[in-house]
């Protein structure tokens, strides 16, 4: 049997990162569909002592920011998601050789587009992951939110691990 070789991510073409983002969108939408088929709105199913599956629709942004607005926020969040996506595709094309940076951007892109799909079709984002402790619940979230958060953390890590360049001295 021939040896399986790992794909050298630093040689992945820019559209390969788009494929990774597409996988995030598809997995996000699949999990949201499964939850919508399995739970009633507001229903909560305990999974672990600190984790429930729930079904909620969030018309706002993170932590339900602007969720009580009259509906205008949906268009705003769709526009922000699409504008961020265009910028990310540009960055992926420009820096395709930088694997960690592009992986982080691919996660963010997939998450952003997963939530844009919800906003376009439902006017709100499907959230279903509920972490809690001692009676306090973290705001419900979804796979797209997790991908965005992990991507942002990887961007910070990538920025911190890069060598600092000192400004040139002129005397």
Q: What is the mean pLDDT of each run of 10 residues along the chain (171 residues)?
A: 47 82 97 97 94 90 57 73 93 89 96 94 93 91 95 94 65 51
Domain that holds residue 108: 69-160
Q: What is the pLDDT of residue 15?
A: 81
Q: Catalogue the E-assigned strands of 16-98.
A: 44-48, 51-58
Whether 98 is a known active-site residue: answer: no
- Which residue of the set 28, 118, 127, 130 is catalytic? 127
- DSSP β-ladder status, 51-58 and 125-133: antiparallel
Q: Report d(CA 161, CA 166) in Å as an integer.
A: 15
Question: Out of 28, 118, 130, 145, which one is annotated catalytic?
Answer: 145
The pLDDT value given to residue 5: 43
Cβ atoms within 10 Å of 149's Cβ, excluding its own: 15
Please, what's the b/e burial string for 14-45 (b: 16 or more CB within 10 A of its CB; e: otherwise)? Answer: bebbbebbeebbeebbebbeebeeebeeeebe
Specify if 96 maps to a domain. Answer: yes
Residue 111 falls inside a structural domain: yes
Residue 145 annotated among the catalytic residues of the structure: yes
Helix (H, G, I), strand (E, B) or coil at 25: helix
Within-domain flag for 1: no
- How many domains does one find in the chain? 1
The predicted model scores a pTM of 0.82
**5: in domain:** no
Distance separating alpha carbons of residues 59 and 100, to the nearest angstrom? 32
């Amino acid at each position: 049997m021939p040896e399986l070789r790992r794909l050298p991510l630093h040689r992945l073409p820019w559209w390969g990162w788009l494929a990774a983002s597409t996988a995030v969108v598809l997995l996000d939408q699949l999990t949201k569909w499964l939850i919508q088929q399995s739970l009633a709105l507001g229903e909560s199913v305990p999974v672990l002592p600190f984790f429930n599956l729930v079904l909620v629709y969030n018309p706002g942004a993170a932590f339900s920011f602007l969720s009580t607005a009259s509906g205008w926020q949906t268009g705003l969040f769709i526009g922000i998601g699409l504008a961020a996506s265009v910028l990310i595709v540009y960055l992926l094309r420009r820096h395709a050789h930088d694997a960690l940076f592009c992986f982080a951007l691919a996660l963010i892109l997939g998450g952003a587009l997963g939530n844009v799909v919800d906003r376009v079709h439902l006017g709100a984002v499907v959230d279903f992951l509920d972490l809690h402790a001692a009676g306090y619940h973290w705001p419900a979230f979804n796979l797209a939110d997790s991908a965005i958060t992990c991507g942002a953390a990887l961007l910070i890590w990538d920025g911190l691990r890069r060598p600092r360049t000192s400004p040139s001295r002129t005397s």
